[in-house]
Amino acid sequence: MLGGVFAYVAGWFPRATYGAQPRAQWIVDAFEATTRPHPGFRRNHAKGICVTGHFDSNGNGAALSTASVFEAGTYPVIGRFSAPGSNPSQADAESSVRSFALLFSLPGDEQWRTGMNSAPIFAVGTPQAVFEQLSARALDATGHQNPAHMAAFLRKHPEAQAFDAWVAAHPPSSAFFNAAYFSVDAFRFVDHERRAQYVRWRVVPETPYQQLGEDAEGDPDFLAHGLVKRLEQGPLRWRLMISVAKPGDPVDDATRQWPAQRDRDSIDAGTLVIDRAQSQIDGPCRDINFDPLILPQGIEASNDPLLAARSSAYAVSFARRTKEEARFSAARN
């Protein structure tokens, strides 16, 4: 799976499936326009912290997928907690969403990479809408956003109201480690009989959710600081829960939630354990592109157009920041 996934880097998302779309380079340019330049950093989720640990699979997921990660056993993981946004200096209190990316190392040199958010849906469902949303947030000549541009975007994209409503009803967590994280996009799981089912997954923390309080405002980096301090007491754990779609559930639209019953019927596939945190500057997650289309056999992409867009844009961002890092290294030497 590793080889073909980066075919999207060339530029356009596949026309046959998604119609005319903005180039991945344009989307990354639009991310850059939302803040001043920050060379060497990711164009989105610029501020983060690396983590490592393992996944203890209990074998339950094997009923849904042939992926080796669901066979009973223990698999190493490298992860990264972050908040959305292109500014690595942004204060943590400014973000209403937490993000968690993971790379599972599997037998046969396979990998499963996933990027999850603490909200179960995206604001928009197409690459074009992503581009328009970012363009509405671009800084003008004075270094500020123009509220009229965002108001015009929201009038054109009423589907974004569902995301805003969810965020308003679910205050951000006080820490990285007491939030649940959702795959948002749907994927296809293929079992040993070659039967395919659409799924979404989430990781549910062992630590009870706690709402962000005013006491965090004094520390602009309280999310990373709190994670490091908590890990001094011992590992953190989440349960990997898999929800299976039923007929009529949207499997190609990340702006729409599935009925709550899907989560109540979800399958517990095992325990994610995080036991160490490292700086993103030189930690193990620094050089990882958490491309959601790097998948093991038994897990396939759905037709959700955001998956191709994310894969392509992540690759462009990765190429830019690694090129910048190489220039910095050459200049120092």
* pLDDT by 10-residue block (mean), the chain, 333 residues: 35 41 90 94 97 98 98 98 96 96 98 98 97 95 93 96 96 97 98 97 98 84 97 98 98 98 98 98 96 98 97 96 85 74
Question: What is the C-alpha to C-alpha distance for residues 83 and 54, in angstroms, rounded to an integer?
Answer: 22
Predicted pLDDT at 118: 98
Are the beta carbons of 79 and 112 closer than 8 angstroms? Answer: no
H-only helix segments in 138-239: 147-156, 160-169, 222-231
The label of the residue with tokens 């157009």 reads 305
Q: Sign of torsion, CA 81 85 88 93?
A: negative
Q: Sign of torsion, CA 213 215 218 223?
A: negative
Give the chain's domains with CATH numbers.
2-332 (2.40.180.10)
Beta strands in the chain (DSSP E): 47-57, 73-83, 99-105, 111-117, 181-182, 187-190, 196-205, 236-244, 267-279, 299-301
pTM: 0.92
Residue 145 DSSP label:
B
Predicted pLDDT at 331: 78
